[in-house]
Structure 1
């Protein structure tokens, strides 16, 4: 016994034996923990997939119950693929006017191997996530196109020059679309409109018509869901003898139908040269009628679309405003002035958004009337048209620009910032 007490050989084996149990426990616990970490990652991936499945119903504004079912099915499928034990899942879905928000949490029990010997048969892991998606915003576009005689102006400087060279009075407007008979409306072969057609002159109205038709194609390709956008198109009247807001295409979600109807849009006709003292551009009356056509602003849901007015014009009124004219009146109370923006303000106060495309009122050389009555204030037209538009929704296009591109840009800008904030 005395020698045994003094003998120090083999002490490492004794120490190792004593340390073996905590070492095995530590290593085993680390293995169990790493399995739990991997399980948590799989749980997180599963709940992410579940919430994305729920927001997948947003585009069609599917019910919250359908969204929850989709989320649960996706989660269970993912968990099965990961070979994890059944887990508890909790999903909350809340909808606002503009978006759906989905939040979720889940827990799962991971069976242990080594730690179970210490009284811990499971490790509980949990994960949470959230997702949101915007609802598609439904929008109604009311497009008012100025087809008054001034839109018979040549679309480019070259077109204007061609028409001036072909007319005895050097007129750059193809606005004398007269008839030999007001009942049969037979075109005179010597009308300036007819001359422009024969010479291949492109008028402003031709470009506006084409641009509006292209706008229907843009609307179709931009939709997230069917019938998301509707469009109606109006003119200021087909004939100066019967001025007033005129429907070119009724409000419809069928853009192909609207496009087909717009093909009939043309320059306003006049019974004869100088008819009604050339007073054929009644902005005040047309805009007031437009205010009556556009219903109450909506929240962007399918049953209450947002309302937009798109206004395309050169911005010069020419009508009888004997008491309200902001410029000099001539015989018969004829008033040529920039747009009166009072109705624009009324529409915007109602929440209607207004996009304005100003087709620059070009300077007309060799024309004494223009020099006397328009030139002194022509430079102010753009600023006044801009004040009609909602902030940020104004474009000006002169003879070198593309009306089609500008209309498309306004449309894309409108749908990009579609959600109303109240």
Structure 2
């Protein structure tokens, strides 16, 4: 009878079932806790891997500096070392005692740096040990890509012809007009064939009266530009600069190399001290025909050569940096775009000589130093004033898209040159 009642009694079923379910319930909850803990650590490791992958090839990293000196592709050991250091520095708390394996690859391929950080670890469990699972394996991979800065050669063509002997500011122009008997605003640089400088030339008059000439400001601005380039370069060999003028003397006016393109920008600045106003042997020499943009641009095309992709120092991108007041004055009896007098051609720049450079992919950055109106000068009124408004238009047409800048006498030429330079180096680069 007792046995039959016991078997028929259902009042303890819930407790029995609960007891039977406790093990899987606790196991499931413990499994969730263990997996959640493992995934939390995996997230931390991913963050560390991301930081390492990106930091190893950031713009100022050792890997980028090394890559900029390489002539070909290959592994960047210094980048691997830096990535490992960054990764390990991110280890905190429990991770510092964990056995984390990390594999790092940093390579240069063409103009790109690729970094890959792969990690793996076995995280000890707590509750899952009930089921004989002592660890949870976690792993992950972080990748980063950096496009190296372009190598660039700058060919700086400075107009140093007599028209650049005008005063740099309206005040300087007024001083020259006041101090010269014929109210001439130009500081003509008279040096005889024997090399003897005329002490009474307007050039020396300008010096005695502390008049700053346009060529003085251009020279100083070019020297400051080399310092800007030093602060902007990623590596010592990223930028090369060369400086050219239209010639030292009018007697043998021809494109003159002040400095061939070199990476030692301090030397370029020092060489640029030699940039001065072209001298003439006497007033009116060669009918004042000393400014041939046609010849200068044709010769620069030969000097610059073919365009490079900028991926290596041996294949730099090439930029002609042209600074001028935009008025040509040369002997062109049949091809001048304006009326001539005795074959003398005074005209805005003939942009047909800019086109062959641009057709080769050479960028032309133009800094137009505004040609100052000279209302007291009869020559200006007769020959330049009629096309004065066309000068900036033609200079802009010579420039590559987005690389034209006009600077007036009240503006800072140095600041304008720096702004144009920064625009060049920050333009998007198309790569294959």
Cα separation, 2, equivalents of 1:65 and 1:138: 19
Contact 1:108 1:124 in 2 (8 A): yes
Change in Cα spacing, 1:138 to 1:217, as seen in structure 2 (3 Å) is same
Change in Cα spacing, 1:310 to 1:88, as seen in structure 2 (3 Å) is closer
- Unaligned stretches of 5+ in structure 2? none
Change in Cα spacing, 1:381 to 1:261, as seen in structure 2 (3 Å) is same
Contact 1:319 1:334 in 2 (8 A): yes
Aligned equivalent of 1:96: 110
Contact 1:87 1:109 in 2 (8 A): no
- Decide which of 36, 44, 47 is 1:42's aligned counterpart: 44
**Structure 1 residues 241-256: aligned runs within 5 Å:** 241-256=251-266
**Structure 1 residues 56-71: aligned runs within 5 Å:** 56=61, 57-61=63-67, 63-64=74-75, 66=77, 69-70=80-81
Aligned residues: 417
Cα separation, 2, equivalents of 1:257 and 1:12: 93
Aligned equivalent of 2:335: 324
Deviations 1:202-232 (A, max 9, x none): 1101110110111011111112111221111
Contact 1:309 1:355 in 2 (8 A): yes
Deviations 1:268-321 (A, max 9, x none): 100000111111111111111111111221221122221111000011111101
Cα separation, 2, equivalents of 1:29 and 1:122: 11
Aligned equivalent of 1:294: 304
Cα separation, 2, equivalents of 1:140 and 1:239: 27
C-alpha RMSD of matched pairs (Å): 2.5
1:120 Cα deviation from its structure 2 partner: 4.2
| Segment of structure 1 superposing worse, 388-397 or 362-371 | 362-371
Contact 1:53 1:67 in 2 (8 A): no
Cα separation, 2, equivalents of 1:93 and 1:278: 58
Cα separation, 2, equivalents of 1:330 and 1:361: 21
Aligned equivalent of 1:178: 190
- Decide which of 196, 207, 216 is 2:217's aligned counterpart: 207
Q: Secondary structure at the match of 1:244?
A: coil
Change in Cα spacing, 1:113 to 1:252, as seen in structure 2 (3 Å) is same
Q: Secondary structure at the match of 2:277?
A: coil
Cα separation, 2, equivalents of 1:372 and 1:344: 27
- Unaligned stretches of 5+ in structure 1? none
Cα separation, 1, equivalents of 2:410 and 2:422: 22
| Segment of structure 1 superposing worse, 25-34 or 39-48 | 39-48
Task: Give the TM-score taking structure 1 as reference length.
Answer: 0.91
Q: Secondary structure at the match of 2:66?
A: coil
Task: Give the TM-score taking structure 2 as reference length.
Answer: 0.89
Deviations 1:354-377 (A, max 9, x none): 100001111111222111111111
1:19 Cα deviation from its structure 2 partner: 3.0
Cα separation, 2, equivalents of 1:388 and 1:59: 35
Aligned equivalent of 1:152: 165
